[in-house]
Structures are given as structure tokens and as C-alpha cells.
Amino acid sequence: MKNLFLQLLLFATLMSSTFAGSGGDILRATFTADSLEYQANFDERAIYWDTYGYIGYDINKLYFYSEGEKPHRESANSENQLLYSRAIAPFWDVQIGVGLDRANEKYKSWAVIALAGLAPYFFETRAALLVGGNGNIGLRIDLEYEALLTQKLILTPKVSSEAYTKNEPRMGYGAGLSNLTIGARLRYEIKREFAPYVGIEWSKNFGNTRKYSPFNELYLVGGVRFWF
């Protein structure tokens, strides 16, 4: 609790400069549900979401991220972050703040530092380094690419992975490579702000994480992407 308080105090200090001294810059806010979908195969069903939003200016912003799933007849698991974000180069931001995970009806807080932006060949990239109060260090990486098939039909492959330095059985984390998820979604933009989609996704746990949860599933998915 003390460590979390110190993290929040540091975050509040950073935020004090976010909305100050922005001159004539315009304050903006947006919310994006990158994925809001139903996942299913012969054995498993789940509701999955991947959302983010921000409020701020061109250089300084306050971001939140929330990603999680609600399996059928089970409690929800999620990864949530609240971050101060500062542009350090065209298309690249460095972010710092706090994270809160929920898994197995347990909670864990993290200090978070991340790098987000557009890598060469237009890969949307985000890498987050997480530091827990018990000394556990995590790394979560997301890579996404948008292939424009027509003006309205877009194919989006995505790869996500995470790894940790320590075992945390109560949260289901294992030391080493923990999980790899690969998927692709094909969406049709009825308008830019709203697009239904279908897709396929494979997710597998590795190493010690697999001991806690031998997860290895292939899903068909269907959902909507929207923003405002």
C-alpha cells in the first residue's frame, strides 16, 4: 500500500504539468474501443475488450488503457493503466504512471513506463515495462498493422506478448515468457468512427505460467471497433 501511495504521489506530480503552460494549444479528448468482441470455439466463450482514451494537448496527455476478458461463468480478468504521456519525437510518446491488474479475483499494482508509437513500415507499437512492489518486473509488447484492402475494408494483424522475472501464482504469472497471442481481424468501416469486424485469434501460455493455466486456444471472434 505504501509503494502504491508513492507511485500515485509521483504520478500526481507529473500530472500537475500536463494541463499547465500549454499556451494556445487546444485541449482534446477521445475514447477508442479498438476491440469489443465475442470470442468462441468448441469449448470456450468470452467477452473481450481492448480500449484506451486520452485527454490533453499535442505534447502532454493523460492516457488510460483497459484490456481484459470475461469468460463464460467465470470472473473477469483485466489489465488497466493510467499514464502521463509526453511526445518525444514525431509519432512517438513516452508514458509513465500506474497499472492495476485483476486476475483470479486478486489485484496487483505496478509502476509503469512505456514507449508507444509508429515503428518503421507503419507498425503500431507499444512496449510497457512494469515494476511490482515485490521486485517482479514485467514486459508487455503489442504490435499491430493495418492493411487497407479497399477504402472501407481493413485487415489488422496483431501480435502481443508478455514476460516476467518472478513467479506469482496468485495472479497466474510465471517467470520467463508468459503468453503469446496472434490474431487478425477484418473490419468494414460503415463510417470511420464505427466498424464491425470478424477475425481469428490464437493464444497460448508458456513456461511457468502454463503450470498455473495450461491455456492454448484458437478462437473465432466477432465484434465492433468504434471511437469518438
Q: What cell numbers appear for 214 in the block?
A: 495450461
Question: Topology of domain 27-227, per CATH?
Answer: Porin (2.40.160)
CA 224, CA 35: separation in Å to the nearest integer? Answer: 6
Residues of the chain where predicted confidence (pLDDT) is lower than 50:
1, 5
Question: What pLDDT score does 115 carry?
Answer: 99
Are 209 and 178 contacting, i.e. CB atoms less than 8 angstroms apart? yes
Identify the CA nearest to 164 among candidates 181, 139, 142. Answer: 139
pTM for the predicted model, two decimal places: 0.90
Q: What cell numbers appear for 108 in the block?
A: 496487483
CA 103, CA 108: separation in Å to the nearest integer? Answer: 8
Question: What pLDDT score does 130 carry?
Answer: 99
What is the signed CA dihedral for 141, 119, 99, 108, rounded to 10 degrees?
A: 10
What is the helix (H) or strand (E) element at residue 12, kind and residue range?
A: helix 2-15
Question: What pLDDT score does 13 carry?
Answer: 59
The β-bridge partners of 137 are: 131
Question: What pLDDT score does 25 carry?
Answer: 82
